[in-house]
Homo-oligomer: A and B are copies of this chain.
Amino acid sequence: MKTIKVGLVGFGTIGTGVAKLLLLQKERIAKRTGCDVQLVKIVDLDTTRDRGIQLPEGMLTDDYREILNDPEISIVVQLIGGTGVERKIMLEMIEAGKNIVTANKALLATYGEEIFCAARRKGVSVAFEAAVGGGIPIIAAISESLAANEIESIHAILNGTCNFILSNMEENGSDYAPTLKEAQRLGFAEANPAMDVEGSDTAQKLAILSHIAFGVRLDWKDIPKDGIETVSGTDFRYAKLLGYSIKLLAIAKRIKGASGACDKLELSVCPTMVKHGSPIASVSGAFNAVSVVGDAVEHSFYYGKGAGEMPTASAVVADVIDTVVGRTRITFDTLNLWDPENDRSENIELARAEEVTGRYYLRVMVEDRVGVVAELADILSKAGISIGSCVQESVEENTVPLIIMTHETTEGAINGAINAINQLDCVKSEAVRMRIYG
């Protein structure tokens, strides 16, 4: 039986899960690969903490060069999470001829082109199933299983922290701040939750999915995003009344161009009202889910744990297995990801706000006096936005929520209107906007 040696960089939560699978399930992995896959070296700055797994003497080190300089290690699983030294280490590993398996979405979303071009030059592969959606095999689904399709849209819940907070707010009728605190106490949110709750983590994952599904190369920072901090208990009350849940959705949607013209691609990350009864509305807690529409497969939907030790390790080790048996190599060679010389985005470009259409929910905190509704309605009317329904809640206070559901309009029009609304004297805090889906 052929021996394949694997090195692991990063011995945190996911790294521990990967080590458990590679060390404790050797027989299972041998059955799937026909090879003796040996984890021989683990690198982490912290070499003393107990991770609940017994390692052979000398396996754990704080010096990544012990992997880099071992020519027998052909696969490196890199599970450290930033874009600084992590980028340097990955490029060095590639330069040393190692095949890469990684879960580092920030690195791919930011330096995908540099990393993939380096790997192509060196003749090694990069696998990254665990970078998006944890245990959900969404990268394989879009790259391989749906390869016969032109992808029309992706609507996805990609951040377990946000979904946990929003689900709890919905279930308990609570507001954002105390729910975040509770999520932090339970370990579902970081001490500094900004990357999650502001939507950056979701935008990075969406940038990766969009590159695979549509070929677009873009800086994830250019994806318009709203976070979940402004969602309130009031919004959930209305959502429920109207038959919706609220989810932070990553949205990528192809807008067909006229014959001969480029298609446009709408990308956004924003709190979205999702109609009850659709599969994505039933996704609660720390689960992730991806809804994909293809022109042949029609609606398909994938759901699972988006984070956590073993679910993410499941995706990482699937990549290790695929790399060992050679599937990764084929997919890497045929997909030409992040390859400026094989530009797959020639017939698609990012949509401008004026080209993106949708229905919107607005909540505006306004002064409780005569004429306020008329002032807002006037702004919307001038922007060409038709109001579907409008409710002003009576709460016996000076400032009351005014809820507006629009008919179909454009992102450009709604943005312009919100700017104007925020200028009004009667408006007491910035208007909260959500997309409506389904």
Which residues of B have CB within 8 Å of A129?
145
Q: Does A402 sit within 8 A of B, measured CB to CB?
A: no
The proximity string for A residues 313-329 relative to B, scoring 1 for CB distances below 8 Å and 0 otherwise, is 11111101110011100
Contact (Cβ within 8 A) A297 B301: no
Q: Is residue A331 within 8 Å, beta carbon to beta carbon, of the partner chain?
A: yes
In whole Å, how far is A295's beta carbon from the nearest beta carbon of chain B? 8
Shortest distance between the CB of A168 and any CB in chain B (Å): 15
Select the stretch in A24-32, A52-60, A192-200 that faces chain B: A24-32
Residues of chain B with a CB closer than 8 A to A242's CB: none
In residues 27-74 of chain A, which contact B (Cβ within 8 Å)? Answer: 28-29, 31-34
Contacting B at CB under 8 A, from A300-345, are 300-305, 308, 310-311, 313-318, 320-322, 325-327, 330-331, 333-334, 344
Query: In the complex, which residues 249-303 of chain A have their Cβ closer than 8 Å to any Cβ of chain B?
Result: 277-279, 282-283, 294-303
**Contact between B301 and A304 (Cβ–Cβ < 8 Å)?**
yes
Please pick, from B29, B33, B141, B147, the residue contacting A321 in the complex, using a CB distance under 8 A: B147
A137 at the interface (CB under 8 A from B): yes
A390 within 8 A of B: no
Q: Which of B294, B310, B326 contacts A330 (CB 8 A)?
A: B326
A137 / chain B contacts, CB cutoff of 8 Å: 140-141, 144-146, 300
CB of A21 within 8 Å of the partner chain: yes
Contact B296 A17 (CB under 8 A): yes
Q: In the complex, which residue of chain B has the Cβ closest to the Cβ of A278?
A: B282
Chain B residues positioned under 8 Å from A33 (CB to CB): 334
Residues of chain B contacted by A97 (CB below 8 angstroms):
none
Whose C-beta in chain B lies nearest to the C-beta of A282? B282
Residues in B neighbouring A333, C-beta threshold 8 A: 34
Q: Are B279 and A296 in contact (CB under 8 A)?
A: no
Known: A300-B135, A317-B296. A150 touches B28 (CB 8 A): yes
Q: Is there a chain B Cβ closer than 8 Å to A136's Cβ?
A: yes
Please name all residues of chain B whose beta carbon is closer than 8 Å to the beta carbon of A303 when the two chains form the complex.
279, 300-303
Min distance, Cβ A6 to any Cβ of chain B, angstroms: 13
A300 x B136 contact (CB < 8 A): yes
| Inter-subunit contact A148/B299 (CB<8 Å) | no
Identity of the chain B residue whose Cβ is nearest the Cβ of A304 in the assembled complex: B300
- CA of A144 to CA of B320 in the docked complex: distance in angstroms? 11
Whether A305 pairs with B298 at a CB distance below 8 angstroms is yes
A423 in the interface (beta carbon within 8 A): no
Contact A140 B148 (CB under 8 A): no
- A383 nearest CB across to chain B (Å): 37
For residue A415, CB closer than 8 A to chain B, the reply is: no
Q: Is A149's CB within 8 Å of the partner chain B? A: yes
Contact (Cβ within 8 A) B305 A34 = no
| Chain B nearest CB, measured from A120 CB (Å) | 14
Interface centre among A145, A277, A283 (most CB of B within 10 A): A145
Contacts of A327 in B (CB 8 A): 144, 327, 330-331
Measured between beta carbons, the chain B residues less than 8 angstroms from A314 are 146, 148-149, 294, 296-297
Which residues of chain B are near A322, meaning CB under 8 Å? 144, 147
The residue of chain B having its C-beta at the shortest distance from the C-beta of A35 within the complex is B334
A21–B150 CA distance with the chains assembled, in angstroms: 11
**Residues of the B chain whose Cβ atoms lie less than 8 Å from the Cβ of A317:** 147-148, 296
CA distance in complex: A221, B140 (Å): 33
Task: Note all chain B residues with C-beta closer than 8 A to A21.
Answer: 148, 296
- Most B CB within 10 A of own CB, among A278, A282, A315, A321: A282
B305 touches A302 (CB 8 A): no
> Are B304 and A298 neighbours in the complex by a CB distance under 8 Å?
yes
Which 5 residue pairs across A and B have the least CB separation, nearest first? A137-B145, A148-B317, A300-B304, A296-B314, A301-B303
21 CB contacts below 8 A, A to B, read A21-B148, A29-B148, A34-B333, A34-B334, A137-B141, A137-B300, A144-B318, A146-B314, A147-B317, A147-B321, A148-B314, A148-B316, A279-B279, A282-B282, A296-B310, A298-B308, A300-B302, A301-B301, A303-B303, A325-B334, A327-B331
Beyond the given A32-B334, A279-B282, please list 8 additional residue pairs across the A-B interface where CB-CB is below 8 A: A17-B296, A136-B300, A147-B321, A148-B316, A298-B305, A300-B304, A327-B327, A327-B331
